[in-house]
Amino acid sequence: MNRKKNLLWLQSGGCGGCSMSLLNSEQPGLTVFFEAAGIELLWHPSLSESCNDDLITLLHNIIDDKISLDILCLEGAVIHGPKGTGAFHHLSNTQQPMRDWLKKLSQKAKNIIAVGSCAAFGGITAGGGNPTEASGLQFSGEQAGALLSADYKNAQGLPVINIAGCPTHPGWITDTLFALARNELSMSDLDTFNRPRFYSDQLVHHGCPRNEYYEYKASAEKPSDLGCMMEHLGCRGTQAHADCNTRLWNGSGSCLRGGYACINCTAPQFEEPGYTFTLTPKVAGIPTGLPTDMPKAWFVALSALAKAATPQRLKNNAVEDHVRTPPEIDARKKP
Ligand code: SF4
Ligand code: SF4
């Protein structure tokens, strides 16, 4: 029988939201998943009962090759500040920067996963002028090369796998772990930013319940409106790589379904878009963030046509907080 794969989960500069999201893993639940995937959880800050001293012993055992580390997961950004010392985040009771622990452990780990946009690219932790000098594990924003060099690859030729998202969907983590545990993940399964393509080849726009409004450019004008939020309220769903509206959250949710515009949280540097998240930046009335693959002239032409053809029902409901004009019942007699 194959040995179980050992997994260690550490946290640094983040909010813990990716762990909280992971705990919502369902069908199967997390413990059943680990068993089925053949994964042994060595330590997780929210799930393990063992104390800090046990963790430090475990880390030394890994570094001394007494315990093999198959999968290292980091949640939260790597903290390099102040002035490159890493002293803003010491691992408790060790007097050593977490960054230095991560460096040593990454040399022992057979696979490395950055869980969430902080660990992947710096994320929210790197926002606001980046006072903590945060970076991802292998990317700093869009630039490859951070704690680990741009050309880092494991023995199977895999770089750090960036499960970007803020937070990550639990299914993105469990699907990645499952594929890794079965040695079924290769470079061709990752995109340019080393995100698993099973979710990043999708757009958040796919499956959005506001798609009918989008088609006719029947736009919401304020947050509670039902219309499409691309034109005025900052929605980036047409450019955001994720399957949030086809692989729902907690069984039925997504940002869009909750009434929130997509802020493209799976992208590097999403935290500093250069404009207010909930207002669409425009030049001469045209949104600057156009749908992926769509030339500007086409968008302008199609928008004008769509607006001219907008059914009254959609025009009305786009600026209401619930459906006031229902679809007409087709009263035509059957032939
Ligand atoms: S990616 Fe987002 S949810 Fe995850 S730790 Fe960072 S800030 Fe929190
Ligand atoms: S609200 Fe956003 S995701 Fe939904 S249809 Fe409009 S652009 Fe697409």
pLDDT at 329 over 90: no
Q: Per-residue DSSP letters for 270-301?
A: TT--SS-TTS--EETTEESSPPTT--HHHHHH
Whole-structure pTM value: 0.95
Q: How far apart are CA 306 and CA 216, in angstroms?
A: 5
C-alpha of residue 117 to centroid of ligand 1, in Å: 6
Report phi then psi at 288, rounded to 5.
-75, -30
Q: Which of 10, 130, 166 to probe ligand 1 with, by most ligand atoms within 8 A of CB?
A: 166
Name the percent of the chain lying above pLDDT 90. 89
Candidate of 22, 117, 163, 272 to mutate for ligand 1, largest count of ligand atoms within 8 Å of Cβ? 117
Residue type, 243: D
The Cα–Cα gap between 206 and 238 comes to 8
Confidence (pLDDT) at 47: 94
Cβ of 256 closer than 6 Å to ligand 2, yes or no, is: yes
Q: How far is the CA of 208 from the centre of ligand 2 (A)?
A: 6
Would the CB of 169 count as within 6 Å of ligand 2? no
Note whether 89 and 10 are within 8 A (CB).
no
Q: Which residue has 């046990």 as its token pair?
A: 54
CA of 279 to the centre of ligand 2 (A): 14
- Take residue 243 and report the two structure tokens written for it: 């399957």
124 lines ligand 2 (CB under 6 A): no
Q: Is a pLDDT exceeding 70 seen at residue 323?
A: yes
Structure confidence at residue 335 as a pLDDT band (50, 70, 90): low
- If you count them, how many residues does the chain have? 335
In tens, the pLDDT along 188-243 reads: 999 999 999 999 999 999 999 999 999 999 999 999 999 999 999 999 999 999 99
Q: How far is Cα 327 from Cα 109, in angstroms, rounded to an integer?
A: 57
List Cα–Cα distances, 123 to 4, 116, 117, 230, 251, in angstroms: 32, 8, 5, 23, 26
**What would you measure as the largest C-alpha separation in the chain, in angstroms?**
83
Query: Taking residues 169-176, what's their average pLDDT?
Result: 98
Output the pLDDT for position 288: 87
Phi-psi region of 90 (alpha: psi -120 to 50; beta: other; left: phi over 0): beta
- The CA 92 to ligand 1 mean position distance, Å, reads 21
Question: Each residue of 9-39: pLDDT tens digit?
Answer: 999 999 999 999 999 998 889 999 999 999 9
Residues with CB under 6 A from ligand 1: 14-15, 17-18, 75-76, 116-118, 123-124, 166-167
**Predicted confidence (pLDDT) at residue 1 exceeds the cutoff of 60:** no
- C-alpha angle 298-208-319 in degrees, rounded to nearest 5: 80
Nearest Cα residue to atom 7 of ligand 2 = 230
CB of 246 within 6 A of ligand 2: the answer is no
Distances (CA, A) of 82 to 14, 100, 102, 220: 17, 14, 17, 44
Q: Which of 203, 204, 206, 210 to mutate to test the pocket of ligand 2 (most atoms within 8 A of CB)?
A: 210
What separation in Å is there between the alpha carbon of 26 and the centre of ligand 2? Answer: 27
